[in-house]
Structure 1
């Protein structure tokens, strides 16, 4: 026969845990949205980035879905006053905590290797200069307003045709008929973007890494409260049952 909780303390914890899990479910949706936004932004330049850059936001999206399900289990366990469900919830919460910490740490570690990885990828792409590479370069140069790896001179030095693409031109100077800038020398500082793309890409990915680190680690530590509440409530229910 189920024993009702009469103690004010455990009863209060039950409702606190329920409220916590409602907020926790909403945080899961927040993690999912943050992961999706970062993935969409980084995926726009996926020709130049490795799978390691795409992995953290994908992990956060999956984690957000799992958190929503776990929070539902926590709410159900609190209302039903089931020690088994509550302890299962606490274990699952601890596992998600570890995953989120790992994602945050991986994002921190990856930042130190990011510039070198991007530079190698961009160099190899500009050397190949095939159709796929050129389309990707046009996309990144127009959207980030940059040219070449470090400087526009990279196109003259290492590309196959030794010429700058039209996407290096500032928009107001593009000659669509000629596919280049209006009456400009090869490296004309007045009409070509002068910043290299490696710095612009790194800056873009760094901003996304800050989002991942903040969301992943921030919510991970909040989950400790959920683990403590669930374990305390499960222990209190068992004590009353004995």
Structure 2
């Protein structure tokens, strides 16, 4: 604070933005190339990809669970694999941050080996997700045809009603080939103000089949998993390349004393031995 001739005080302390600007000016390019900074940055990006995969896997698994009776275990392999990979990423990121702090070659090498393993996982997720998108219609159609007749099971009837109501579909083969007459009321759109008795017939039933609607819904989520996994895989390739270069640098530093270079901490200065003169001969 200072007082001018007019008696007005001004605050001369730097603002937060000015302090940040001063720190950025003090940051040198050599600081950005340090082992600790590079490993910390790449590991942070790596952990964020794990968080993205975890959120995506939970969302997709939650949507798939709603239609478990019609999907079977095949559709749950990919989202569960995504979640397991995300958890594995978090544990690997802990090792990465420890390697950034310690800057030990063996720790970074172990971190690199786990990164390559996760890269294989992410590549597998990408392939499985796009394959799942292609097989969605055929597998769901086969699954629904196999399980369409146990109408005595109340849980199955409730699942069918929820599917037809939410996806606005009617049966497997459409409204014209439904085995029950009159049609279930969930096969029809009930307009506002409708009065009972309301009858669902082929004239006012939904036209779309449930297997096509469900396969489109599941195929969309499989496609999203494939795109996200492909993007994460590309980032993972860059991260593996950077960590490989860092491991090579640490290995080179470790071998420097063996090539004739003298390190300061390896020098040992010994005091000279004092010469003792025997005066008894004189």
Compute the TM-score of the two structures, normalised by the length of structure 2. Answer: 0.73
- Structure 1 residue 112 corresponds to structure 2 residue 134: yes
Q: Which has the higher contact order (CA 8 A, sep 6+)?
A: 1
Runs of 4 or more above 6 Å deviation: 173-177
Aligned mates of 2:148, 2:182 — CA distance in 1 = 11
Aligned to 1:3: none
What does 1:1-242 align with in structure 2 at a 5 Å threshold? 8=30, 11-130=33-152, 131-156=154-179, 161-172=180-191, 182-183=198-199, 186-188=201-203, 191-242=204-255
Give the CA deviation at 1:199.
Answer: 1.2
Give the CA deviation at 1:177.
Answer: 6.2
Aligned residues: 225
Question: Relative to structure 1, is the Cα distance of residues 81 and 11 closer, same or farther in structure 2, using a 3 angstrom cutoff?
Answer: farther
Question: Relative to structure 1, is the Cα distance of residues 119 and 163 closer, same or farther in structure 2, using a 3 angstrom cutoff?
Answer: farther
**Contact 2:171–2:210 (CA<8 Å) still a contact in 1?**
yes
Question: Relative to structure 1, is the Cα distance of residues 50 and 176 closer, same or farther in structure 2, using a 3 angstrom cutoff?
Answer: farther
**SS of aligned partner of 2:68:** coil
Question: Relative to structure 1, is the Cα distance of residues 59 and 48 closer, same or farther in structure 2, using a 3 angstrom cutoff?
Answer: same
Give the CA deviation at 1:125.
Answer: 2.6
**Contact 1:17–1:226 (CA<8 Å) still a contact in 2?**
no
Give the CA deviation at 1:218.
Answer: 1.3
**Contact 1:73–1:89 (CA<8 Å) still a contact in 2?**
yes
**Contact 2:39–2:99 (CA<8 Å) still a contact in 1?**
no
Question: Relative to structure 1, is the Cα distance of residues 227 and 9 closer, same or farther in structure 2, using a 3 angstrom cutoff?
Answer: farther
Question: Relative to structure 1, is the Cα distance of residues 237 and 88 closer, same or farther in structure 2, using a 3 angstrom cutoff?
Answer: same
Q: How big is each residue's C-alpha offset from its partner over 1:29-65, in whole Å with a ceiling of 9 and x where there is no partner?
A: 1110000001111111111002110110111111111
Please list every run of 5 or more consecutive structure 1 residues that lacks an aligned counterpart in the other structure. Answer: 1-7
More helix per residue: 1
